[in-house]
Amino acid sequence: MNRTEFLLALDDMLELPAGTLTGTEELDGLEGWDSLGVISFIALVDERTQKVVEAEKLAQAKTVGDLLALAGVKEPA
Partner 1 sequence: MRVDAAPARTGGTAGAGRMTRRTVYFPGGPASYLALGREPEAGKTAAPLLLLHGFAGDLLTWQLNMPVLGADRRVLAVDLPGHGQSTLDVGDGRVAGFAPWLLRFLDAVGLDRMHVAGHSMGGYVGMELARLAPERVASLTLIASAGLGPDFDLGFLRRVTAVSSEEEGTDCAARLFAGPCWLVDRIGAVLHAQAADPARRAALERITEQSFAVAAERFPPVDWSAFPMPVQAVWGAQDRIIPLPSPHMLPHGAPLHVFDKAGHLPHSEAAGPTTTVLRDFLNLCDAS
Contact footprint for partner 1 (CB under 8 A): 9, 12-15, 32, 35-40, 42-44, 46-47, 52, 54-56, 58-59
Measured from the CB of residue 51, what is the shortest distance to partner 1 in angstroms? 11
Nearer to partner 1, 49 or 69 (CB): 49
33 phi and psi, to 5 degrees? Answer: -85, 75
SS3 of 26, please?
A: strand
Nearer to partner 1, 42 or 65 (CB): 42
Q: Is 28 exposed, middle or buried (0-12, 13-18, 19+ CB in 10 A)?
A: exposed
